[in-house]
Amino acid sequence: METDKRMTMEAALEMIRQMKKVFPVVRLLDGKQLSNERLPELRGISGEPCVCRQLWNDRLQCKNCVVRRAFREKKQIGKLEMVSSDLYHVTGKYMEIDGKPYVMELLNRLEDDELLISADQKILISGLTDYDTKLYKDALTGVYNRRYYEEKIRSLTEHFGVAMLDLDDFKLYNDTYGHLAGDRALDTTVKVVRSCIRKVDILIRYGGDEFLLVLPDIDKDTFRDRLRQIQEEIHNARVPGYPQLRLSVSIGGVMTEDETVEQAVNRADRFMYQAKQYKNMVVTEHDHGKGGHSSVMSDISREMQGREKILIIDDSGMNRMVLREILKSDYDILEAADGQEGLNILERFRTDIALVLLDIVMPKMDGFGVLEHMNRDTSMKEIPVIMISGEDSDSFVRRAYDMGVSDYIKRPFDFQVVYRRVRNTITLYAKQRRLFSLVTNQIYEKEKNNRMMIGILSQIMEFRNGESGIHVLHINVITAMLLEKLVRKSDAYDLSWPERLMITTASALHDIGKIGIDDKILNKPGALTDEEYEIIKKHTLIGAEILDNLDIYRTEPLVRIASDICRWHHERYDGKGYPDGLKGEQIPISAQVVSLADVYDALISGRSYKKGYSHEEALEMIRKGYCGAFNPVLLECLEEISGDIKNELQASVGEAVCIQSGSQLRKELHKYHETKDHLFNKISREMRFEQQNI
């Protein structure tokens, strides 16, 4: 051993006194505390605190401590440390004093003119800083990366709050809106988390959409409140450039207890996955104790605004009781003793039901009858069904899957298997619904401007016709409701959701052809002559002609549907309508629906020459054929939704009133009437000129 490593305590203290003339920090540490690797803070023999606590403001044990390394390797070791733009040199010198091991720690700040010229020092500092950033920082979000966790955090054993955060549906954001949206969602999440935590807290990007949060010196109540604050703030945040995105995170949290951070992370990860079953949820061990998965999930369920509902359709009371006992802790259970009773409950609760457990052999209506009805009214697409039956023949199982069931469980069954398959099926359908919602919002954003322009144009037509713009809104509402009821009631019309949306949108243009009718005839207060009535009837042909002659868009599905509606919304089911005298199913279903909606609203709406009929009177007049013949199935649909129509139309009027007060509307109408004659006379002249020269 070198002679300067062995000395008396008196000589060592004299060396320290001399070293302090050169080094601002000199400490002598004994081997007893250095041999304790888990000791978080090292103090000098005179009680001097660890320089890391003061200078670096570091609450964590340094994993590259030169003092500990010098002690282990019994030699002198040095390193450079960066604090902001300042460069420090730290030395650990192993010594034996009076036969016992010690390490002397020496620290000095390198001045600009020390060892390196200024330019070289800047290059060194820049290089060290850039190296540290690249090594331990995530390039996208700027937080610490997984390597930092593995090398600096994983093995620590101090008192921490440890939380795992998972960004819900991150893959959907990427797949639906593109990777830029995903990147911005991550960046927004990080900014929110940083705004909620202290400088000493550590945020790490643990995986693609997972983050690890390590909070030193925090009590369990503050820890839980901090996690809930983060969850709420993220849910309220908006992603720049993507206002349709609504972020949420699932968070699991634990407090370390005589364990490494890695062990705490594993426990927090389990709680995070429990939270993820519901999404936008925080689950900590101290919220629910350590009673295991089922008790935690039961408590979470009770915290939510209404639990998910499961409908059990089985004629055996014993079977229903067994299934109820398996599932009642986490779900609200509805029961039906036969297929017909089950359908009645489905009709009442609709999509509030998360899943149906269905037997096959039952009185009145068997399980296959229930499936046929659910397929016919499209509820099968929205509500998953699991067959539970003692029938296990191949023909039964194949038929059940062909009719759309999600799973088939044979009796007798294992309780845990039933619970898990129910939970997995509900989770899968929930993800599908969230994806559908994202896609729907995206479609809506793309179509909103088109719908707005169509609405403006159609309301201009209503003003020109001396009618309220509310008529267009009414036609939209009634058309949408009739179409929704029609596809549930009959499978004769295979109308997808996008097709129904286009018909509803195009209904606003049903009277666009009136732009080519002379004002004097269009707004004549008295009865029309036969000749004038024939001119009015031409608005159907004019409207279709306008759309058919569009240069660019005439082949678009929306324009084709609008053209059909314009031309044939005055046709009647018995062939006595106009302009072409089409009969029955020769009339496109789009035109049939808008025709019925138009007649109903015309009856209940007041005009300058008539008062509006009541809702009941209008239905009676349509039912008796006073307004022509309509599709019998559509008439049944109208009857069945008549109460809902009345409520919806009242609500739509209320919304319109909220948008514009009466005084504002009168002012705008007055201004409109001052300019409408000039504007529409000009348009009408140009339209007639174009028609004469086609």
The 10s digit of each residue's pLDDT in 445-472 is 656 656 666 666 666 666 666 554 578 8
Domain edges within the chain: 3-133, 137-302, 309-435, 470-659
pLDDT at 297: 44
pLDDT at 642: 87
The CATH architecture assigned to 470-659 reads Orthogonal Bundle (1.10)
- For residue 215, pLDDT over 90 is answered with yes
Q: Which two tokens stand for residue 573?
A: 């089911």
Give me the percent of the chain exceeding a pLDDT of 70: 76
pLDDT digits (tens, 9 = 90+) for 489-540: 888 888 888 899 889 989 988 988 988 888 888 888 778 899 999 999 999 9
Average pLDDT over residues 68-79: 88
Length of the chain: 694
Lowest mean pLDDT among 65-69, 319-323, 560-564, 646-650: 646-650
pLDDT digits (tens, 9 = 90+) for 281-325: 899 887 655 444 444 444 444 444 457 899 999 998 889 889 998
pLDDT at 254: 95
- Tell whether pTM > 0.85: no
pLDDT at 384: 93
Give me the percent of the chain exceeding a pLDDT of 90: 34
When pLDDT is cut at 50, 70 and 90, the band that residue 652 belongs to is low
Please tell me the CATH code under which domain 3-133 is placed: 3.30.450
When pLDDT is cut at 50, 70 and 90, the band that residue 330 belongs to is confident
Strands (E), 322-393: 332-336, 353-358, 385-389
Peptide bond just before 49 cis, omega within 30 deg: no
The CA-atom distances, in angstroms, between 392 and each of 355, 396, 402 are: 21, 7, 15
- H helices present in 213-338, as ranges: 220-236, 261-276, 285-288, 293-303, 317-327
pLDDT at 646: 79
- For residue 687, pLDDT over 50 is answered with no
Q: How far apart are CA 477 and CA 507, in angstroms?
A: 10
Q: What residues pair up with 311 in beta bridges, in sequence order?
A: 334, 356
Average pLDDT over residues 632-651: 86
| Contacts for 420-429: CB closer than 8 Å, 24+ residues apart | 421/386, 422/310, 422/327, 422/355, 422/357, 422/386, 423/277, 423/330, 425/355, 425/384, 425/386, 426/308, 426/354, 426/355, 426/384, 427/277, 428/384, 429/354, 429/355, 429/383, 429/384
Pairing of strands 332-336, 309-313: parallel
- For residue 155, pLDDT over 80 is answered with yes
Single-letter amino acid code for the residue at 394: D
- For residue 31, pLDDT over 90 is answered with no
When pLDDT is cut at 50, 70 and 90, the band that residue 11 belongs to is confident
Of 26 and 351, more confident: 26
CATH fold for domain 137-302: Alpha-Beta Plaits (3.30.70)
Lowest mean pLDDT among 466-480, 547-561, 675-689: 675-689
> Could you tell me if 279 and 168 are in contact, meaning their C-beta atoms sit under 8 angstroms apart?
yes
pLDDT digits (tens, 9 = 90+) for 74-110: 988 888 776 656 777 889 999 999 889 999 999 888 7
pLDDT at 692: 40
Tell which phi-psi region holds residue 387, choosing left (phi > 0), alpha (psi between -120 and 50) or beta.
beta
Of 581 and 447, more confident: 581
pLDDT at 670: 43
Say whether domain 309-435 belongs to CATH 3.10.290.10: no
Same fold, 137-302 and 470-659: no
Contacts of 59 (CB under 8 A, 6+ apart): 53, 158, 200, 216, 217
